[in-house]
């Protein structure tokens, strides 16, 4: 019987042989990638990457591209990136990529107007990303796409597609990202996205000619996480427009022609985390506009509209709201209870470019988590310390630049706040240097450098910097004149120490 040591040696040898055999098999499956000779594929260029070859063919034509592809076919490489950019390639011919293993294919800005049905059919097992952006396609090339059963990303941006017909993407059942930004799409048929309902996570329809939300075509996309319909011509949204999008996390409706946000319009979007409505012409927001979003909405962007007051009634239910952007509206006043009921979780509040002249004494009382406050470019001449007092402990960034501030005793507390903020977020604070005007001198100062010695500020107007060294010295001198004659020198020194420390 073999000894224990002998058996161990045999097992070790077998294991080594197994590793060698495994390495040989893997080497056969993935041989080292090498580029063809430079002249063989010129004007295309080749680079070896970790996962395969990176081939770039730029500013050339079909003849040279055909030649380069023929050379590559003889070497059977893994082409991780094939980038055809700025070429003269009006039509992608059939079988151009036959016998090639391409994972990412880009045909960008190459005058591409047609893709033959068999042009991409041989890439179905390997191709995961296809970018045919900035071309001349007038329709979705459905027949050419139907066999791409492993495609994850399809980019059709900046073409001339005017409508999406039924089952335009049939066969792309693994697709996760579809982007059609800046085409001329005005019509989307009800079954347009049939076949994408299993995996699609992101859909970009921005920069098109849509006049309404294509509800019927969107309703089947129950795996969709992000929907972008910005920069269209949508004039109204209504209840039911987003029904079926039960997993939607982000909705972008910015830069359309909306004038109001009606009740219950988002009530089906119970998982929505981010809603962008900026750049419309919104004047009215119903008190039930955000019903259904209470549990998850954290980011709400309402900037660049025509809102005249903070829509508090509509916002009160959003108790998880963290980021509220109301910049560039026509808000001229903030009520005392503007943020009550929903302000506890807000960390970012943007009120820049409005018509605010004053802030209510208790206006920020409910903003217990506020870290960033932007009041830039309003009409403030002063900002009282008591207004900011409730948020001073949590603030990291405050911006009051581009306001007509007057250098006065109402502002002398502000440099100390800026110093505190500098310690919390030095980089941001250094960039925010508000100016104020000294009326009697007709000149401007940085608020941090106001000439306090000429401003005659006393008492509480000095805020957190109430007792400068000069003030402390004045107190000492006054007390000494009054009581020094009746106490000894040593007792006087002890008494004075306590007074000054108390001050």
CA–CA gap between residue 430 and residue 432 (Å, rounded): 6
**What is the C-alpha separation between 183 and 119, in angstroms, rounded?**
23
Radius of gyration of the chain (CA): 34
* H-run or E-run covering 91: strand 91-92
Question: Pairing between strand 52-58 and 45-49?
Answer: antiparallel
Counts for the chain of helices (H) and strands (E), in that order: 11, 24
- For 304-357, how does the pLDDT look when each residue is reduced to its tens digit (9 = 90+)? 999 999 999 999 999 999 999 999 999 999 999 999 999 999 999 999 999 999
Please answer whether residues 245 and 218 qualify as being in contact, where contact means their C-beta atoms are separated by less than 8 angstroms.
Answer: yes
Q: How far apart are CA 419 and CA 501, in angstroms?
A: 22
Q: Is residue 4 scored above 90 in pLDDT?
A: no
469-483 and 489-502 helices, crossing angle to 10°: 140
Is residue 427 very low, low, confident or very high in pLDDT (cuts 50, 70, 90)?
low
Question: How many residues would you count in the chain?
Answer: 503
CA separation for the pair 284, 116 (Å, rounded):
50
Report d(CA 186, CA 208) in Å as an integer. Answer: 7
Q: What is the pLDDT of residue 433?
A: 87
Q: What is the DSSP string of 114-155?
A: EE-TTSSGGGTTT--EEE--SS---S--HHHHTT-TT--EEE
pLDDT over 60 (residue 483): no
What pLDDT, on the 0 to 100 scale, is given for residue 470? 36
Per-residue model confidence (pLDDT) at position 264 = 98
Q: What is the DSSP string of 216-231?
A: HHHTT-TT--EEE--S
The per-residue pLDDT for range 241-300, each reduced to its tens digit, is 999 999 999 999 999 999 999 999 999 999 999 999 999 999 999 999 999 999 999 999
| Mean pLDDT of the region 19-29 | 40
Residue whose C-alpha is closest to residue 61's, from 25, 102, 89: 89
Q: For residue range 53-96, what is the model confidence (pLDDT) as tens digits?
A: 999 999 999 999 999 999 999 888 899 999 999 999 999 999 99
Q: Whole-angstrom Cα distance, residue 412 to residue 460?
A: 10
Q: Which residues pair with 446 in a beta bridge?
A: 435
Closest to 223 (Cα-Cα) out of 206, 249, 199: 199
DSSP output for 309-370: S--HHHHTT-TT--EEE--SS------TTTTTTTGGG--EEE--SS------TTTTTT-TT-
Q: Which SS3 state, helix, strand or coil, does residue 94 take?
A: coil
Please count the other Cβ atoms lying within 10 Å of the Cβ belonging to residue 108.
Answer: 19
Q: Is a pLDDT exceeding 70 seen at residue 113?
A: yes
Across the chain, mean pLDDT equals 87
pTM attached to this predicted model: 0.84
Residue 46 has pLDDT above 60, yes or no: yes
Whether 477 shows a pLDDT value over 50: the answer reads: no
Alpha-carbon distance values, 262 to 239, 253, 272, 289 (Å): 8, 14, 17, 5
């Amino acid at each position: 019987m073999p000894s224990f040591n002998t058996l161990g040696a045999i097992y070790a040898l077998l294991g080594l042989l197994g590793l060698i055999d495994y390495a040989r098999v893997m080497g056969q499956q993935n041989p080292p990638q090498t580029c063809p000779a430079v002249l063989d594929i010129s004007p295309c260029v080749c680079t070896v990457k970790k996962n395969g070859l990176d081939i770039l063919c730029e500013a050339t034509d079909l003849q040279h591209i055909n030649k380069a592809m023929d050379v590559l076919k003889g070497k059977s490489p893994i082409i991780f990136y094939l980038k055809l950019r700025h070429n003269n390639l009006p039509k992608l011919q059939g079988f151009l990529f036959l016998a090639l293993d391409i994972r990412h294919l880009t045909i960008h800005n190459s005058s591409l107007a047609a893709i033959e049905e068999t042009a991409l059919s041989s890439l179905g097992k390997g191709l995961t990303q296809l970018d045919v952006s900035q071309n001349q396609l007038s329709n979705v090339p459905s027949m050419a796409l139907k066999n791409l059963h492993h495609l994850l990303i399809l980019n059709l941006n900046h073409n001339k597609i005017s409508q999406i017909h039924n089952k335009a993407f049939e066969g792309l059942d693994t697709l996760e990202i579809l982007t059609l930004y800046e085409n001329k799409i005005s019509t989307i048929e009800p079954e347009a996205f049939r076949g994408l309902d299993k995996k699609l996570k992101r859909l970009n329809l921005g920069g098109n000619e849509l006049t309404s939300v294509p509800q019927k075509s969107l309703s089947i996309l129950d795996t969709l996480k992000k929907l972008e319909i910005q920069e269209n011509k949508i004039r109204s949204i209504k209840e039911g427009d987003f029904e079926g999008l039960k997993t939607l996390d982000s909705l972008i409706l910015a830069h359309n022609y909306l004038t109001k946000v009606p009740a219950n319009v988002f009530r089906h979007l119970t998982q929505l985390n981010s809603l962008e409505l900026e750049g419309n012409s919104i004047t009215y927001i119903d008190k039930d506009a955000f019903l259904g979003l209470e549990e998850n909405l954290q980011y709400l962007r309402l900037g660049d509209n025509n809102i005249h007051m903070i829509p508090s009634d509509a916002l009160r239910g959003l108790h998880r709201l963290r980021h509220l952007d109301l910049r560039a509206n026509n808000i001229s006043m903030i009520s005392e209870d503007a943020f009550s009921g929903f302000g506890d979780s807000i960390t970012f509040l943007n009120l820049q470019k409005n018509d605010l002249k004053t802030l209510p004494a208790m206006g920020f009382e409910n903003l217990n988590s506020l870290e960033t406050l932007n009041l830039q470019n309003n009409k403030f001449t002063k900002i009282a310390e008591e207004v900011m007092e409730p948020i001073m402990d949590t603030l990291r960034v405050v911006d009051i630049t581009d306001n007509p501030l007057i250098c006065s005793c109402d502002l002398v507390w502000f440099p100390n706040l800026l110093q505190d903020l500098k310690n919390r977020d030095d980089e941001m604070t250094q960039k925010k240097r508000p100016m104020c005007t000294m009326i009697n001198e007709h000149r401007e100062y940085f608020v941090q450098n106001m000439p306090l010695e000429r401003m005659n500020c006393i008492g509480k107007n000095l805020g957190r910097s109430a007792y400068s060294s000069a003030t402390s010295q004045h107190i000492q001198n006054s007390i000494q004149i009054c009581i020094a004659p009746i106490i000894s020198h040593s007792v006087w020194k002890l008494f004075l120490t306590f007074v000054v420390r108390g001050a």
